[in-house]
């Protein structure tokens, strides 16, 4: 069960949790106990959206780092495998820019599709 921590806590695995952290590693009984003693609360929809945005940003940073560490040939091969039009880019920075633009377009399309599906269910 996901909870938002209200107090500092160290898990049995040694993970340090701070107030404001979203944690989904507790089993239901421990999550309920943390809520009962005031160490955590159930996340709101705003919490969920905020943490989803932070997760997307972390993923974007990780992908960017992976792209930066790849060679030009590796970038071109990866783009070709995914059907990404590099628009004549030959320099590493240009190729990365084209790949990131493709990723952003794809993410926006997925988000729009999810929003449309959610509206259709209402």
User: Whole-prediction pTM value?
Assistant: 0.60
Work out the pLDDT band at 13, boundaries 50, 70, 90: confident
Percent of the chain, pLDDT > 70?
A: 100
Instruction: Indicate if the pLDDT at residue 75 is higher than 90.
Output: yes
Angle at the Cα of 54 (from 53 to 56), degrees rounded to 5? Answer: 65
Q: How far apart are CA 39 and CA 4, in angstroms?
A: 9
Q: How far apart are CA 13 and CA 113, in angstroms?
A: 38
Percent of the chain, pLDDT > 90?
A: 64
């Amino acid at each position: 069960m996901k909870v938002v921590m209200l107090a500092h806590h160290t898990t049995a695995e040694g993970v340090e949790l701070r107030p404001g952290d979203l944690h989904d590693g507790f089993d239901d009984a421990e999550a309920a106990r943390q809520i009962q003693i005031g160490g955590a609360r159930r996340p709101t929809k705003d919490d969920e959206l905020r943490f989803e945005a932070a997760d997307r940003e972390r993923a974007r940073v990780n992908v960017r780092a992976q792209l930066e560490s790849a060679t030009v040939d590796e970038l071109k091969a990866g783009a070709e495998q995914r059907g990404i039009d590099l628009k004549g880019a030959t320099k590493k920075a240009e190729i990365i820019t084209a790949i990131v633009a493709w990723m952003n377009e794809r993410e926006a399309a997925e988000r729009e599709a999810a929003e449309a599906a959610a509206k259709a269910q209402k």
